[in-house]
Amino acid sequence: MKRVPLVPFPLDKVEKFSSVFIGLGEMLSNFFPSLDWDLHHSGIDMAPRKWVSIAIFSAIFYFSMLFTIMLVITRAARIIIPQSVGVSLLVGFTIAGASFLYIVMYPKLLAKKKIKSVDENLPHALHHLLIQIRSGVPLFNCMVSVAHGDYGQLGKQFERSVDEINTGKSEIEAIEEMAKDNPSLYFRRVLWQVANALKSGADIGDTLKEIVENLAMDQTLAIKKYGAQLNPIAMMYMVFCVIMPTLGITFLLVLGSFIGLSFQVEFVLLAILGFLVLFQFMLIGMIKSKRPVGI
């Protein structure tokens, strides 16, 4: 990985600049106990203290740049020095803090993205494996087929496992190693079941068939749960986006006609429109976040 969002320079250069903050980075990394796990599963080969030191350097860089820019702008606008410095400090600290938190949390975002990619492709890959196993294809050839298929991060995991088998590892060792390094909890369970079946000499086809059936059942339950969660969200939409704006405007018009309340209609309508846009955007994000993976 050469570039990270909000890191001002390429990582190899930033590592040199941020080395002076290693001590502070080690101290602050204790506040993020899952950072080591996130860095490992996101594919970033870096110690937590070094990653936090990069975030500190980036925050200081943005603070210095924005503080200087805002100070020049506010002084050019003839704002008095105390207010100018206060506004510049506020903007600088806000953007610097936001960039620090984003960079520190970036490995977690990458790991979640990988988990989502694996979970989305897991049902299709398992059906692929089951069909080929039932057709008499050896397990290694099935893994090669999945590795070369269009299964995103899941295909890359199988490709790495196939390479390890080609270098001399047994299938069981490669599958167990893939389970250890995979961030998806459900995929790890699947791999452990397959590894245990190989160790015990059980039929892999029967094991995969049971896994696929359990996965389909879990997806059915997740869809039902998702449908139940949509009912209160739909009620919120009706209340805040249909009923309240309509009754609110009517109430303001009636109240204004009785007590002589004067207000700018254009401003009120624009405020209501802005609220509706923001609220519906939040509802869409909520619905998207609750949507089960793989459907």
Mean pLDDT over 213-227 rounds to 81
- Residue-wise pLDDT for 23-65, tens only, equals 888 899 889 888 888 888 888 888 899 999 999 999 999 999 9
Q: Residue 273 pLDDT more than 60?
A: yes
Q: What percent of the chain has pLDDT over 70?
A: 94
Amino acid, res. 151? Y
Mean pLDDT over 171-188 rounds to 83
pLDDT at 51 (0 to 100): 93
- Whether the model pTM is above 0.75: no
Q: Which two tokens stand for residue 40?
A: 């490992």
Mean pLDDT value across the chain: 83
Q: Residue 261 pLDDT more than 80?
A: no
pLDDT at 295 (0 to 100): 54
Q: Residue 229 pLDDT more than 70?
A: yes
pLDDT at 1 (0 to 100): 58
Tell me how far apart the alpha carbons of residues 39 and 48 are, in angstroms, rounded to a whole number. 7
Mean pLDDT over 249-272 rounds to 70
Instruction: Indicate the pLDDT class of residue 266, thresholds 50, 70 and 90.
Output: low
- Across 50-64, 99-113, 220-234, least confident range: 220-234
CB 55: neighbour CB atoms within 10 A? Answer: 27
Q: Are 151 and 143 in contact (CB under 8 A)?
A: no
Cα 196 to the center of its chain, rounded Å: 32
Tell me how far apart the alpha carbons of residues 173 and 201 are, in angstroms, rounded to a whole number. 15
pLDDT at 263 (0 to 100): 57
Mean pLDDT over 62-86 rounds to 85
In three-state form (DSSP H/G/I as H, E/B as E, the rest C), the secondary structure along 201-216 is CCCHHHHHHHHHHHHH
Q: Residue 293 pLDDT more than 70?
A: no
pLDDT at 55 (0 to 100): 92
Mean pLDDT over 216-224 rounds to 81
Mean pLDDT over 211-234 rounds to 82
pLDDT at 260 (0 to 100): 62
pLDDT at 59 (0 to 100): 92
Q: Which two tokens stand for residue 181?
A: 């390094």
pLDDT at 264 (0 to 100): 61
Best-predicted range by mean pLDDT (38-52, 215-229, 237-251, 257-271): 38-52
